[in-house]
Each structure stands twice: as structure tokens, then as C-alpha cells.
Amino acid sequence: MTADGGAHAATPESRPAPAGQGRRRVAWGELVLGLAVLALGVVVLLDARSLPASTSASGIGAGFFPTVVAVFTMAVAVALILHVLLGGRGDPDEGEGDVDVAVLHVRAALVVLAAIAWYALALERLGYVPTALVTFWAIAYALGARRYVRDFLISAALAVVIYVGFTQGLSIRLPAGLLEGVL
């Protein structure tokens, strides 16, 4: 995950400094992002070149459009890299309220990621209810919930309600896992 690695490695450097000051420093995060996009363009180009030639009327096959996309991607990536090197910065999203990129909770973000990974790993092994329970509990914890018993009860109730509602109410299959035959 180049993009992710870049974000984590670079966040401390790219804190928005007060106007004027810091603008001259290199924004590593965005630079890595630009390089990642450039790499993406190269991958697409190599993949497009590896496709066999076309047999269609136009002589244009599966590789033509990807080549166009690859060139476009590399061009905007280079433009972004130059832009960042010349001091350009993106404005972090402010649409959500109560968010400030000068504050960084690395652990909270990692807990969220771990909770998602847990969901993917455990879902078909343990079943929906225990998996979702832990996922909700962990993400709520990451975002600041600290009334553990109440958090647990709500997680459990939500997981059961979703499971029953989807499997019984909407006939959408979810893995039963440990609770096979119980719910």
C-alpha cells in the first residue's frame, strides 16, 4: 500500500503551518501520493502493452483505451509532483465538522483498520453476529466511546438486529457461524 504508507509516514511533515511559514517545506505526503499515481500509470501502461493486438475492424483492441488512460494518469501525476515541489498544497476536507488535521490519532486509525481486517478475516469463520459485534465495539472505541459495558450491549444488540433483520426480513444470507441453529 504505497498510498497508505505515504500518508502515515508523511502526516507529521505536512501539518498546515500558519500562513507563509512552512509553505516552502516539501510536502512529503502529497509527493508520495504523486509518485504513487505515477507508478499506477506505469503499471497500467505495462499491462496495456502486454495485451495481444486487435483483430477488430479499427485495429484498435483492448490495449488502446488503457494506453490513453495510462498516459493521462502519468501526465497528471507528473503535474501534481511538480505542483507540490513548487509549494502547492491540497486543502484537507473540512466538510465533516470537528476535524482538524493538525490533530493526529494514529492509534485510533489503526484500531479502525484492524477492526475492518478482523471483519474480513472472521466473518465466514465465526459468523456475522460475533464478528460484527467486535467490529462495532472496536470502531466505537477508536472514536472515543469509553462506557465499555453499554458499548458492548449496543454492539451485541445491533449485530443481532441486523442479522435477524437481513436474514429473516429481507432474505439476504449472512454467515451464521458459531450461532448456527441458535438464531
What character string, x for contact with other proteins (CB under 8 A) and - otherwise, covers 30-49?
Answer: x--x---x--xx-xx--xx-
Residue 61: other Cβ atoms inside 10 A: 14
Q: What's at 175, amino acid-wise?
A: P
Among 9, 42, 113, 178, binds other proteins (CB under 8 A): 113
CB of 166 to other proteins, least distance (A): 7
Q: Which of 19, 86, 103, 182 forms a contact with other proteins (CB under 8 A)? A: 103
Instruction: Give residues 56-95 in contact with other proteins (rule: CB under 8 A).
Output: 56-62, 64-66, 69, 72-73, 76-77, 79-80, 83, 88-93, 95
CB of 115 to other proteins, least distance (A): 7
Distance CA(14)–CA(28), nearest Å, equals 7
The conformation of residue 175, written as its DSSP 8-state character, comes to -
Return the residues of window 5-24 that contact other proteins according to CB under 8 A: 6-7, 11, 14
Give CB contacts under 8 A, 24+ apart, made by 16-21: 16/89, 16/92, 16/101, 16/102
Least distance between other proteins and beta carbon 14 (Å): 8
| Among candidate residues 104, 143, 106, the one with its CA nearest the CA of residue 15 | 104
- Here the cell at position 13 is 511533515
